[in-house]
Amino acid sequence: MSINLAEKRICVTGGAGFLGSFIMEKLAARGCKDVFVPRSKDYDLATADGITRMYDDAKPDVVIHLAAVVGGIGANREHPGSFFYQNLMMGVQLMEEGRLRGLEKFVAVGTICAYPKFTPVPFKEEELWSGYPEETNAPYGLAKKMMLVQSEAYRDEYDFNSIYLLPVNLYGPRDNFDPASSHVIPALIKKCCDAINAGDDEIIVWGSGTATREFLFAEDCAEGILLATEEYDKSDPVNIGAGREISIKDLVDVIVAETGFDGKVTWDATKPDGQPRRCLDTTRATEEFGFKSKTSFEDGMRETIKWYRDNN
């Protein structure tokens, strides 16, 4: 059954984050007035106390759960324990408390890092359990993957309505550009822009460049999540992607060209590549709730670089 979100009390955990900011814009555009965003300083959602108070204060009909501790390969390697614990405890407790309180719908936002390291490309949802994830992001990916198990189990036993979505790597304006925790696109944009500003003629890039990735404009991802919230009521996991694979080498070429950096690119092969290939099969999202990404990679990249330059 389709949900009219404008009539619902909605809680968006992580609503002040990168992806969350686009969800908030799109909820406002749909006429949603009753939207609650629990900030981590007020409600630590990794604790039972934070979750209880959040449900008491927000009294939501629908929870869109985006809150997470996230980062690129470096941050995942440095903090595997806290990434595992925080993400697991948030998801598992939020869904349980929602069930106990008769929540109408729980939307769990997972991650492509849940896929096995050597998944055949394009990744189909049926392949999710055919192997262990790439080691550097396994604790993060598996912690979030437990929400898929929980969603299926709670639907079977309690008839609780939750869904599990798997967005691919995101990029766009308002992304995290902090080198300690950023993902590959903001990290590269910052490197190129900073080198131009400082007059440097070389940038160092992690890995060999052979790994491939798929990137989805965060605004498109937000639309996919809201379409699924409105239209999709099954626990079968759904990929949210753009369906285009690009090597890190080609990605660097695009960012170098778009930023205008004309120095040398040196590859630091002592640093890890992460998962060898990533690209999603997005058929299910199209068939089940009509999602297709709209923004071309070139347009999205230009907008992201412009945002970075305007805000730094």
Which residues belong to the active site? 140
Residue type, 24: M
| Window 173-202: residues binding ligand NAP (CB under 6 A) | 176, 183
Q: Mask of contacts with ligand NAP, 138-177, x by CB under 6 A? A: -----------------------------x-xx-----x-
66 interacts with ligand NAP by CB under 6 A: yes
The number of CA neighbours under 13 Å toward the Cβ of 225 is 35
Residues 286, 279: Cα–Cα separation, whole Å? 16
- Selected binder of ligand NAP within 24, 70, 187, 192 (CB under 6 A): 70
- Which phi and psi angles does 204 have, rounded to 5°? -105, 130
* Total count of residues recorded for the chain: 312
Q: How far is the CB of 99 from ligand NAP (least distance, A)?
A: 19
Instruction: Quote the least distance from Cβ 42 to ligand NAP, whole Å.
Output: 8
Minimum distance between the CB of residue 16 and ligand NAP, rounded to whole angstroms?
4
Taking CB under 6 A as the criterion, the residue among 10, 11, 24, 45 binding ligand NAP is 45
Residue with tokens 């614990």, as numbered in its chain? 85
Q: Which stretch binds ligand NAP (CB under 6 A): 17-25, 151-159, 248-256, 273-281?
A: 17-25
114 near ligand NAP, judged by CB under 6 A: no
Site for ligand NAP contains 274 (CB under 6 A) = no
Q: Is 209 left (phi over 0), alpha (psi -120 to 50) or beta?
A: left
φ, ψ for residue 87, nearest 5 deg: -70, -40
Instruction: Answer yes or no: are the C-beta atoms of 145 and 114 closer than 8 Å.
Output: yes
**CA gap 93, 89 in Å, rounded:** 6
Token reading at 259: 């930023």
Span near ligand NAP by CB under 6 A; candidates 11-19, 252-260, 272-280, 302-310: 11-19
Q: Which residue has the tokens 């349980």?
A: 96
Binding site for ligand NAP (CB under 6 A): 13-14, 16-20, 38-40, 43-46, 66-70, 86, 109, 111, 167, 169-170, 176, 183
